[in-house]
């Protein structure tokens, strides 16, 4: 298990150069100086399209930053530090950001929890949003059905679930009302698209149809990850 801060940035794609300057000159410098930071990953839209037959190409966030900390206390301290909120206040006015805290768990080939390190660069970032009729039942069903099945996808390199921790929210910045997150990782977009055409993708869809009732939206973003630290 690890302790995660997710920063998601949306806005006008035409203003991407300004976002890149902010990331290089302000955000990455300040984030790398945060105490007990274990890793920093930057996710940007993949240059090639997803061929998931059930989730069509969406308008991806322009950037997702995943900051991993060594302990829960380090995450909470970082998210409420003045230096952290100053970074977001320096974001160009044409962009919007949200901040969420998670516990992140890696899953192995047998669907059980495992220790792992991200190496492959292509991630399918999935988020389910509240509400659900019974949140605990939804999460239990998702974790018991999806990671063990995802482990059978051809070319899969990593599987993660993200469990929201709203009690660790950034007091000065808005968050999203997540129910659970998931991420599957591949070496290339071609590998990902090949997996989406496999019988395992159909099996995952059957699990989706059997989820406990929920009425929140869900999102699926195909992103390219690059590691800045860790």
Q: Is the pTM of this model over 0.85?
A: yes
3-state class (DSSP) for residue 55: coil
Q: Which tokens is 156 given?
A: 């899969």
Say what the pLDDT of residue 143 is. 97
d(CA 226, CA 41): 6
Please give the residue range of the domain that contains residue 116: 2-229
Say what the pLDDT of residue 83 is. 84
Q: How many domains, the chain?
A: 1
Structure-derived torsion over alpha carbons of residues 91, 11, 51, 214, reported in degrees to the nearest 10: 90
Q: Which helix (H) or strand (E) holds 78?
A: helix 72-79
Say what the pLDDT of residue 80 is. 86
Residues 6 or more apart in contact with residue 137 via CB below 8 angstroms: 212
3-state class (DSSP) for residue 229: strand
Per-residue pLDDT 10s for the chain (230 aa) are: 899 999 999 999 999 999 999 999 999 999 999 999 999 999 999 999 999 999 976 789 999 999 999 999 999 999 888 888 899 999 999 999 999 999 999 998 776 778 788 999 999 999 999 999 999 999 999 999 999 999 999 999 999 999 999 999 888 889 999 999 999 999 999 999 999 999 999 999 999 999 999 999 999 999 999 999 99
Q: Which helix (H) or strand (E) holds 230?
A: none
Q: Which long-range contacts (CB under 8 A, 24 or more apart) does 205-208 make?
A: 205/54, 207/145, 207/146, 207/149, 208/54
Q: Which tokens is 157 given?
A: 């390199």
d(CA 196, CA 18): 34
Given a contact cutoff of 8 angstroms between Cβ atoms, the answer to whether 120 and 178 are in contact is no
Question: How many CB atoms neighbour CB 230 within 10 A?
Answer: 12
**CATH number assigned to the domain comprising residue 108:** 3.30.70.100
Say what the pLDDT of residue 114 is. 82
Say what the pLDDT of residue 170 is. 87
């Amino acid at each position: 298990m690890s302790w995660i801060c997710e920063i998601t940035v949306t806005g006008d794609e035409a203003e991407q150069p300004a976002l890149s300057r902010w990331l290089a000159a302000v955000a990455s410098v300040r984030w790398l100086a945060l105490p007990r930071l274990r890793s920093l990953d930057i996710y940007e839209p993949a240059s090639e399209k997803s061929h998931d037959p059930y989730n069509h190409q969406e308008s991806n966030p322009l950037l997702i930053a995943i900051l991993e900390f060594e302990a829960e206390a380090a995450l909470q301290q970082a998210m409420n530090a003045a230096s952290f909120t100053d970074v977001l206040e320096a974001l160009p006015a044409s962009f919007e950001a949200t901040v969420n805290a998670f516990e992140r768990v890696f899953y192995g080939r047998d669907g059980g929890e495992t220790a792992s390190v991200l190496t492959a660069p292509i991630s399918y970032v999935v988020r389910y949003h509240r509400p659900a009729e019974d949140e605990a039942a939804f999460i239990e069903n998702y974790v018991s059905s999806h990671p063990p099945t995802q482990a059978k996808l051809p070319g899969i390199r990593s599987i993660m679930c993200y469990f929201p921790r709203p009690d660790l929210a950034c007091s000065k910045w808005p968050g999203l009302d997540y129910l659970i997150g998931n991420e599957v990782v591949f070496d290339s977009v071609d590998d990902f698209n090949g997996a989406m055409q496999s019988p395992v993708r159909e099996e995952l869809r059957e699990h989706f149809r059997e989820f406990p009732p929920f009425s929140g939206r869900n999102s699926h973003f195909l992103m390219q990850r690059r590691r800045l630290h860790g």
